[in-house]
Structure 1
Amino acid sequence: MYEYHGWITVRDTAVDDEDVDRLRQIVEAIRLRIAQIASPYLLDLRWMNGEPFIHLGGFSNHSLSPDVLGLFEYVAVIAPGSYGLLHVHDDEDPGHENEVRVHRLVRGMLTQHAEELLSPCIPTLEDPITG
């Protein structure tokens, strides 16, 4: 099982006063990248209150191609002021089968952490199998 939920606030730089034309170019580049991702799951890029946001989520039988994490890596490169989180539970990930992992995007850097509020999955989220 591969479950993921994430979001990104898209920003060109960490400065609040951005070049709107440059940000629109970045968003269009991201929109093209999203169009290349063949996913039946949630993947949404939209402007809200003058700011671009990406929301994504899905649940499949096996780990997806690197497209989901690759999108975060792509945004980190072209919009290093962006920030967001991607929560992943992959029960086929050796050594992390019973964890929810968090990929954190901040200032062009993508790092991975254990999500302590949702891990270990058993018994935090699910009861152990008995019998």
Structure 2
Amino acid sequence: MVEYYGWINLRDSTYESDDKEMNIVLSKLYSYISKYKLNDISGLVNLHKVNGSYQLLVTGNTNHLSQDVIDIFNLCEFIAEIAKGSYGLLYIRNDESEDAFNEFEVFVLARGKIKKEKDPFLSPCIPVIEDDEE
């Protein structure tokens, strides 16, 4: 099983957002979501505006690592390229992963880069959130 949860605060700049630049970012983002049919995946992709800020929320659950999950990660990489001021987190748990079968992998988006970090809150999944087989 693969599950993912993420949020991104969309910003065109690390300093002060510019409405014209932000509209360009949003246009590119809507085109990307449409091109890759991300609204048709098995999870949720929600781009919305709250109190003048744009946010992207993603969540989903698949039986195996699938194109849906890869598409979500690629979306985060695309945002890192076009909106350098954006920041957020993407948590992925893949119980079929050889390296990370018992943990969440956390991908941190900040300043146009994505880096993988260790999860200190829900990992190791057994025993933090689940019991071992008895």
Find the partner of 2:73 among 65, 69, 73.
69
Q: Report deviation, 1:40.
A: 2.4
Distance 1:55 1:117 in 2: 20
SS state of the match for residue 7, structure 1?
strand
| Correspondences of 1:16-95 after superposition (within 5 Å) | 17-35=16-34, 36=36, 37=38, 38-65=40-67, 66-95=70-99
The normalised TM-score by structure 2 is 0.92
Segments ≥4 residues shifted beyond 6 Å: none
RMSD: 1.0
The gaps in structure 1 that reach 5 residues or longer are none
Q: Deviations over 1:70-109 (max 9, x none)?
A: 0110000000110000011001111110011100000001
The normalised TM-score by structure 1 is 0.94
Q: Report deviation, 1:116.
A: 1.3
Aligned sequence identity (%): 35
Paired positions, count: 129
The gaps in structure 2 that reach 5 residues or longer are none
Match of 2:130 in 1: 126
Distance 2:42 2:29 in 1: 18
